[in-house]
Each structure stands twice: as structure tokens, then as C-alpha cells.
């Protein structure tokens, strides 16, 4: 039971020309129930249009560690579908420093970049981890960092290294050190879990014998809002991931559901039925004060989601006769219908850059993840499952996590925003559903 922020892995830049990424990595520990033993296993079901060939040489002295770093780095990069791993074996001695790198060998093996590094124990029991990313064509260093980490932070450090490599080589921010939340149903028990983006380190945040649905991350990643039926009706809770404490923030007459955070973290949009019908309200994140009603219809208005600038609220409504996605200014103004293809479009989630939104579209008998461009209204259907649900953008906007069913069991999947790369995350015990991808760590 770790209660405090663990100031992990201080990073130090090696070599000059590139900007220093975050110097201090903050690991938010879950002061909660014992860690769930089950881990999500990830399977890659597709690859990018072109893959960047990269060789990752085992770091000096990592073999003796409880957690070797380079296998985690390699798995992260491979999972993105944007990298192909070039064999780094059969060299004696292995290169650990820039002057050890024989570029002719790597050129011959087809690698465009080589990752080298080392791990050294420090007197205080922690480790000094260093890595360098070398450009084979230019025979020069692209990036280099040093980190200080204790034994439990080695995995996170590896994700950080993968994030740096991803950012240097693909010009997008890596999401390997982010986390995901989801619900696992095991028999009659529902568990709200949080895990690393690669499925490791799953921990149960809350469990109940009544359903839990709709987890939503606070923008700073320290809290989750969700709906629990433990009071035999839908009530919205907010829970701190640092202390484990939770409180009901919307428990009005009728049903309380579909929480989502405003980008400034000060407001929750929720759906209440206290005045009859399901309508969207704004409430404070501690539940104090009076809810402010945002929609006024005799139809269903639900599944609110904010644009990243907080100015637009997307939601699902059947005011036009079938469920479609609408957008309305949060400052006030009439809702405008956004989806026109098909008779069932639900669960809108705006992309991190605000230029598109993902949603679920029914096509024939199938429910699939689609994206629509905010300006051109062009729709692209990304998945082909029978029942795909709950799409959620990675904070870099490049992947969409969603729930699907394989042989009658709920599993999580992810698809790249262009539909090319697909991953499947399966849990060994139970039904997994309602995924929500967390923000970049602050």
C-alpha cells in the first residue's frame, strides 16, 4: 500500500542538441486494493504502412535485474505497428557506448537506428539507467538520456525510453507510459481496474457485486469518475487514485450516469433523470452546488464529451427520431446535428487535437468504431467486429482503444486512427469492457 507520489526516475539529458523531455517522472501509485494478478495480454493484428527498422541492443548489466529494460522497450515499439525489430544478437562484444557502434554491421542488417545503453547500481540501492538512440545513416546520436530509478520503476523507465524513441522517430508523442482504465466482470463481480498501457500492473481500484460502467479519467490522471449501481441504481462517483477515497457526486432522484470531465478538470458533465427523461447537466467535481441543466429536450440526451478546448460538447440524442451525434457550444446555443450517415450513431469522443471525433456506428447488424472529420464530415469506419463499443482516443490521438467481443467474451482492442494497425488485449479471467485511455502523465 503505497500512499505518496513516488518521485521516480529523474532523467538527465545526455548530449546537447535535443530538448530535454520531462526531467522527473511521476509514478502515481494506486493506494488501493491488492494488485490483480491477471494481466492483459496484447496481440498485434496489423502493421503500419511503413515500418521503421530499429535494433535494440540489450543494455549492459540489465540481465541481472528483476526487470530487464530492452525487452519492454522493444515490445512497446513493436506494438505500435510502426517499427520492425532488427536482430541485435550475435555480436561480441555488444556495443554499450557510441564509440562501440560499428555502423557497417547495422547497415548490413538493415537497421536505420540502433538503441544502446547501460544499467548501473547506485550506492543508495537505486539504478542509473542510460540509453542512446543512434542514427545509422548519419552515424550520429539522435537522443540520449540518463534516469535514476528504483527496482519497481524499471518498467516505467523502459516505457519512458520507448516514448523518447517514438517521439524522435515518428514525430508524435509516445503513449507507452500512459495508463488505461476498464471494467472486468468475473462471475458476478465487477472490478474497475487500472493498468499500464501495455496491460501490465493491473490494479483493482474498486469492485462491487453490482455493475460498474463508464469510467472517465480526470485530465490530470489522478482521479476517475464512473457509474456504480451499488445503491441499486445508477450513481456517479469520483475516486482519487492516490488515496483510494471515493465519493458520490451525483446521486439524485432517478438515474445518474455518463460522467465526463471538462478539460480544465473543474466540471463534470453527467446525465440525470431527476426532472424526467435523460438530460445533460454540469456539476462540480465534488458534487457540491446545484446541477446546471445543459440540454432541454423531451428526447434522450446522453454520452456527453468535451472538445479539448472545452468550447464544444458532443452528445448522443434521439431528438431527430434515431440516435445521432450532436454538438453544442458549452457557453450556450442550439445543438447542431453532426452525423447523417446511418440510423444509429452513438458514443462520441473528440480527438485530442479536436479535429475529429470517434464514435460507434451501426452498419447492418454490426456496431463499429468510426471517425468523422469535424470540418469535412467525412466518415471512416475503422473496425469490423460484431459488437464494438466504448471507443477512447490515446492521448496522442494515434490509437483508439475500444471494447469488442471474441467468442462471446469481452476483450479490449485498439486500432490506429488510420485503421491500419490493430491490437488485441485479452484478460485471462473474465469479461473486459468499458475501456478508457488515460491522459499523458503530468
Are 112 and 136 within 8 A, CB to CB?
yes
> Closer CB to another protein, residue 169 or residue 314?
314
Q: Which helix (H) or strand (E) holds 74?
A: helix 70-79
Number of alpha carbons in the 13 Å side-chain half-sphere of residue 5: 10
| Three-class secondary structure of residue 1 per DSSP | coil
- Answer yes or no: are the C-beta atoms of 169 and 113 closer than 8 Å: yes
Of 128 and 341, CB closest to another protein = 341
Closer residue to another protein (CB): 45 or 387: 387
Query: Which residue carries 458520490 as its cell?
Result: 248
Decide: is 389 part of the binding site for another protein (CB under 8 A): yes
Binding mask 25-64 for another protein (x = CB under 8 A): ----------------------------------------
- Cis peptide bond prior to 93, omega within 30° of 0: yes
Q: How many residues bind another protein (CB under 8 A)?
A: 43
Cell of 156: 516505467
CB-based contacts of 154: which residues, under 8 Å, 6+ apart? 65, 66, 67, 69, 127, 129
Among 48, 244, 254, 419, the residue binding another protein under the rule CB under 8 A is 254
Q: 3-class DSSP state for residue 262?
A: coil
Q: Check binding of 90 to another protein (CB under 8 A).
A: no
Site for another protein in 215-244 (CB under 8 A): 229, 232-234
Residue 442 to residue 440: CA distance in whole angstroms: 6
Judged by CB, which is closer to another protein: 153, or 324?
Answer: 324
| 302 makes contact with another protein (CB under 8 A) | yes
CA distance 6 to 25: 9
406 binds another protein (CB under 8 A): no
Binding residue for another protein (CB under 8 A) from 99, 298, 375, 376? 298
- CA distances in angstroms from 88 to 1, 47, 65, 166, listed in the order given: 39, 21, 20, 19
Q: What is the closest distance, in whole angstroms, from the C-beta atom of residue 389 to another protein in the complex?
A: 6
Candidates 134-142, 325-333, 357-365, 375-383; binding stretch for another protein (CB under 8 A): 357-365
273 near another protein (CB under 8 A): yes
Span from 47-55, 217-225, 236-244, 311-319 in contact with another protein (CB under 8 A): 311-319
Phi, psi (degrees; rounded to nearest 5) at 77: -65, -40
420-439 residues in contact with another protein (CB under 8 A) are: 434
Within 10 Å of residue 114's Cβ, how many Cβ atoms? Answer: 24
User: In the complex, which residues of this chain contact another protein (CB under 8 A)?
Assistant: 211, 213-214, 229, 232-234, 253-255, 257-258, 271, 273, 276-278, 298-300, 302-303, 316, 318-323, 343-344, 346-347, 360, 362, 364-365, 367, 387, 389-390, 408, 434
Amino acid at each position: 500500500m503505497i500512499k505518496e507520489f513516488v518521485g521516480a526516475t529523474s532523467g538527465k539529458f545526455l548530449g546537447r542538441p535535443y530538448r530535454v523531455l520531462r526531467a522527473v517522472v511521476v509514478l502515481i501509485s494506486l493506494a488501493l486494493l491488492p494488485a490483480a494478478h491477471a494481466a492483459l495480454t496484447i496481440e498485434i493484428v496489423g502493421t503500419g504502412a511503413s515500418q521503421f527498422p530499429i535494433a535494440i541492443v540489450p543494455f549492459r548489466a540489465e540481465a541481472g535485474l528483476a526487470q530487464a529494460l530492452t525487452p519492454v522497450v522493444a515490445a512497446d515499439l513493436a506494438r505500435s505497428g510502426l517499427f520492425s525489430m532488427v536482430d541485435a544478437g550475435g555480436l561480441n562484444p555488444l556495443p554499450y557506448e557510441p564509440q562501440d557502434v560499428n555502423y557497417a554491421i547495422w547497415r548490413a542488417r538493415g537497421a536505420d537506428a540502433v538503441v544502446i545503453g547501460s544499467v548501473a547500481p547506485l550506492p543508495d540501492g537505486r539504478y542509473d539507467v542510460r540509453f542512446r538512440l543512434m542514427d545509422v545513416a548519419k552515424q550520429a546520436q539522435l537522443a540520449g538520456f540518463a534516469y535514476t530509478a528504483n527496482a519497481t520503476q524499471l518498467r516505467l523507465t523502459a516505457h519512458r525510453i520507448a516514448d523518447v524513441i517514438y517521439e524522435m522517430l515518428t514525430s508524435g508523442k509516445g503513449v507507452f507510459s500512459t495508463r488505461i482504465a476498464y471494467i472486468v466482470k468475473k462471475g458476478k463481480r465487477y472490478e474497475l481496474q487500472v493498468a499500464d498501457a501495455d496491460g501490465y500492473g493491473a490494479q483493482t481500484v474498486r469492485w462491487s457485486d453490482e455493475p460498474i460502467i463508464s469510467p472517465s479519467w480526470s485530465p490530470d490522471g489522478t482521479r476517475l469518475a464512473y457509474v456504480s449501481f451499488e445503491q441499486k441504481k445508477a450513481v456517479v462517483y469520483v475516486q482519487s487514485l492516490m488515496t483510494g477515497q471515493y465519493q458520490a457526486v451525483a446521486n439524485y432522484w432517478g438515474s445518474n450516469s455518463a460522467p465526463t470531465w471538462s478539460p480544465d478538470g473543474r466540471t463534470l458533465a453527467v446525465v440525470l433523470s431527476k426532472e424526467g427523461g435523460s438530460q445533460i447537466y454540469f456539476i462540480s467535481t465534488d458534487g457540491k452546488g446545484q446541477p446546471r441543466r445543459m440540454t432541454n429536450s423531451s428526447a434522450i440526451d446522453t454520452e456527453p464529451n468535451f472538445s479539448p478546448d472545452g468550447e464544444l460538447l458532443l452528445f448522443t440524442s434521439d431528438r431527430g427520431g434515431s440516435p445521432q451525434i450532436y454538438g453544442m457550444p458549452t457557453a450556450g446555443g442550439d445543438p447542431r446535428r453532426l452525423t447523417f450517415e446511418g440510423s444509429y450513431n452513438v458514443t462520441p469522443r473528440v480527438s485530442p487535437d479536436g479535429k475529429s471525433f470517434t464514435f460507434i456506428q451501426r452498419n447492418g447488424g454490426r456496431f463499429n468504431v468510426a471517425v468523422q472529420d469535424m470540418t469535412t464530415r467525412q466518415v471512416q469506419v475503422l473496425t469490423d467486429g460484431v459488437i464494438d463499443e466504448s471507443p477512447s482516443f490515446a492521448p496522442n490521438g494515434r490509437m483508439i482503444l475500444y471494447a469488442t467481443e471474441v467468442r462471446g467474451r469481452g476483450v479490449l482492442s485498439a486500432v490506429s486512427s488510420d485503421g491500419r494497425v490493430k491490437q488485441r488485449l485479452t484478460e485471462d479471467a473474465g469479461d473486459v469492457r468499458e475501456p478508457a485511455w488515460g491522459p499523458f502523465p503530468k
